[in-house]
Amino acid sequence: MKKIVLSSGEKNIEIEINAIAKQSSGSSLVRCGDTIVLTTCVQGEEKTDTEFFPLICDYREQTSAAGKIPGGFFKREGKPSEREILISRLIDRSIRPIFPDHFYKEIQVISLVLSADQENESDILSVLGASTSLLSSSIPFSIPVGCVRVVKKDKDFLINPPVSDFRESDLNLVISATENSIVMLEGMANEISENDFLSAIELGWNEIKKMINILKEITNPEKERVETNIEKEIFEKVTEYIRKNIPNAYSYPEKQKRKEFYTQIKETFLVLFEEEKKKEIEKIYEYAFEKEVRELILNSKKRIDGRDLKEIRPIECKVGLLPRNHGSALFTRGQTQCLASVTLGTGMDQQIIDGIYEETTKRFMVHYNFPPFCVGEVSQLKAPSRREIGHGNLVERSLLPIIPSEKKFPYTIRIVANILESNGSSSMATVCASSLSLMDAGVPIEKHVGGISIGLIKEGNQYIILTDIQGEEDHYGDMDLKIAGTLNGITGFQMDVKTTDLTLEILEKAIYQSKEARKEILEKMYNTISSPKSSLSPYAPKILTIKINPEKVGLIIGSGGKTIKKIIDETGVKIDILEEGEIRIYSNDMEACKKAASEINKIAEEPEIGQVYEGVVTKIFPFGAVVRFLPSQEGLIHISELAPYRIKRVEDIVKVGSTVKVKVIGKDEQGRILLSKKQIEESYKRGEKNEKSNKSE
């Protein structure tokens, strides 16, 4: 067992290594404040039937960590939440590049939040836990990875601040890195400049380097060795064959035709070998093929589809395609195509978020779908994958800074984005399609958000940066840097790498290259639709907002909700009652909204001193009569105010059920309404007539 302390901003992060969960290959108990995360790693059997490293990362939050019991019918945790999936991906993307090539043993990393203090985030602790548990194990993971959050708030950069500080910030950046390379970026910003973005990355990386000096001390020297058993003679033969044929790929600019070409030259080669050796030869072929595709692009400076390094594929934008949706747009960039639609809903359509933090709601959602036909494949349609959830969240973060406040636009907004074709960078196509669809829906956004993916191929000191990467460049390249933003600055970003040699100098060039491309894309988007439509879809719900005295809210709701249910049943509207007496009425029919508003205003109407009302006597007392003169309002006519002359009995003038006209003359010391019948009669005698007369049922 070892215990280390990492300094992070103004906090200390304590890590106990292999103190518990000792049947795992490695474990770390990571603590910051009262937030504690247990992360374990376990090595399984080698997978011989896969070309991909079988790494599984799972992050889970148990509500007991925050002293809570789960809501709903089942009082235990179920399937992972969106947040849990996103942090699982964060861990995966931070550690995957560190494992050696040709390592195919199953590795599972599990992070469990055991205690949550609501102020110290568990995502950073989980990445550090994964790094330290792997370093201390015999698993071939020998390069320390550190992780920090950098927040820009009020012109200051903060390292790992409390949750309350980064929720309302101009930048929320999570960065993972080794001593020599940036490995992962994730986050959102409020139109931050590229210069500030780079400053935050540099600050975070410098903080990580301090961590790594300590993490080096815990690395297990007895690491498992990974042998690469590739027969040199066969490898040279495969390389020679691919090198001879791969330049012909330039003859196939269309993705599916090029895919068929790749399959054809591969099968032509494999047919030369006996059946029992084909599987082994195929692995060597794939390894050599990747190297040759990279060498071809790197040396020729010409991309497989014939584009220049900074050239964006042809872009086409269309809006208003779907008649019943509240807004829609089709964005096509080369062979990547996204159809996005907007649905506007009421406050009751907001998503409820429950977990280790206080229950909250979300009024803006982006749901990204990647059906198999978009890549010409056959596959069963299942629940959204981790990738789909991750891409949807990236788009959501990228658009959130331009979404109008609830006060300005009191709708719940849901975007559904379906990828119809995919050949690289579908998430950034979704950003563009979603922005266009918001304007088509009439959502009052002030500007467009566009996005682009930047790639990298690097061998030694030689490298090229690629704008608008397509399938092969993503699959065989070293970096996928996605940056979205407006003409003013960056709003969302995500970066994955497959290298441990990404410097700040290279990243700076890539970020500024993305800015050039974003401007070009945004120009085409503005040429299609430059401002939101002036009116909403006729199929979108109409909203009428009224204000009442907050003390009257109980009257509007009624006993057991009886009053408000009656209004809803009679008018067919939906009603939200908010704080401070604000009431929102929703319907596709504005007349129904107005009718409901009228009923509510009658109930909530405040009596006006000097105003004449018609009411009904509900009770008789020796000293006066009680009159209901508004649906929810009663007042007292004192016996002295019943007639312009002296009377002995109240019953001589009014009886229960009598209809009378009364004038509001004030309130008593307890706030009860005082009425007069006498003053109305005296006014008539003087020839006066109150022109305003309100009646109530």
Tokens of 219: 């690395």
CB of 603 closer than 8 Å to CB of 563: yes
Q: Give the per-residue pLDDT at 367.
A: 98
459 strand-pairing partners? 462
**For the chain, what's the residue count?**
697
Do 8 and 159 touch, CB atoms closer than 8 A? yes
In the prediction, which pLDDT does 680 show? Answer: 84
The Cα–Cα gap between 102 and 287 comes to: 9
Label each residue of 232-263 as H, E or C: HHHHHHHHHHHHHHHHHHHHCCCHHHHHHHHH
Q: What is the dihedral of CA 502, 503, 505, 510, to 10 degrees?
A: 20
> Quick one: angle between helices 590-604 and 562-571, nearest 10?
150
- Predicted pLDDT of residue 174: 97
612-695 — its CATH code? 2.40.50.140
Q: What is the pLDDT of residue 168?
A: 81
The confidence score (pLDDT) of residue 365 equals 97
Once rounded to an integer, what is the mean pLDDT over residues 378-403?
A: 96
The pLDDT value recorded for residue 357 is 86
Residue 553's pLDDT is 87
- 315-528: CATH number: 3.30.230.70
Does the structure show a pLDDT above 60 at 245?
A: yes
pLDDT band at 687 (very low <50, low <70, confident <90, very high): low
Residue 697 predicted with pLDDT over 50 = no
| φ and ψ at residue 488, rounded to 5 degrees | -90, -25
At residue 310, the 3 state secondary structure works out as coil
pLDDT tens per residue across span 246-256: 999 888 888 88
Between residues 259 and 693, which one has the greater pLDDT?
259
Predicted pLDDT at 443: 97
Contacts of 688 (CB under 8 A, 6+ apart): none
Range list of β-strands (E), 277-408: 315-319, 327-333, 336-345, 351-353, 360-362, 364-369
Give CA–CA dist 91/462, Å, rounded.
29
Instruction: Tell whether the model's pLDDT for residue 467 goes beyond 90.
Output: yes
The two domains 2-218 and 315-528 share their CATH topology (first three levels equal):
yes
DSSP lists the bridge partners of residue 573 as none
Among 308-312, 319-323, 409-413, 684-688, which stretch is predicted with the lowest mean pLDDT? 684-688
Banded pLDDT at 280 (limits 50, 70, 90): confident
The CATH code of the domain at 2-218 is 3.30.230.70
For residues 523-527, average pLDDT = 98
Q: Does domain 542-604 have CATH number 1.20.1250.20?
A: no
Q: What is the mean pLDDT of residues 663-681?
A: 86
Distances (CA, A) of 119 to 9, 35, 177: 14, 8, 24
Q: For the ranges 146-155, 246-255, 358-367, which has the lowest average pLDDT?
A: 246-255
Could you tell me which residues are beta bridge partners of residue 26?
41
Q: Which H or E element spans position 675?
A: strand 673-676
Q: Report the alpha-carbon distance of residue 490 to residue 186 in Å, rounded.
A: 13
User: Computed over its alpha carbons, how large is the radius of gyration of the chain?
Assistant: 34
Any bridge partners for residue 153, and if so which? 156
Whether 374 has a pLDDT exceeding 90, the answer reads: yes
Q: pLDDT tens-digit profile of 578-597?
A: 878 889 999 988 999 999 99
| DSSP code of residue 375 | G
Q: Where are the domains of the chain?
A: 2-218, 232-300, 315-528, 542-604, 612-695
Q: Residue 122 CA to chain centroid, in angstroms?
A: 18
User: What is the predicted pLDDT for the residue at 234?
Assistant: 86
- What's residue 287's pLDDT? 87
Q: In degrees rounded to 5, what are phi and psi of residue 235?
A: -60, -40
Mean pLDDT for the stretch of residues 44-58: 87
Whole-number percent of the chain with pLDDT over 90: 66
Question: Residue 92 has what pLDDT?
Answer: 97
**Residue 609 one-letter amino acid:** I
Least reliable range by pLDDT among 264-268, 355-359, 654-658: 355-359
Long-range contacts of 252-255 (CB under 8 A, 24+ apart): 253/305, 253/306, 254/335, 255/335, 255/423, 255/470, 255/471
Is the pLDDT at 693 greater than 70? The verdict is no
pLDDT of residue 695: 43
Q: How many whole angstroms separate alpha carbon 88 and alpha carbon 91?
A: 5
User: pLDDT for 184-242, tens place per residue?
Assistant: 999 999 999 999 999 999 999 999 999 999 999 999 888 888 877 777 888 889 999 99
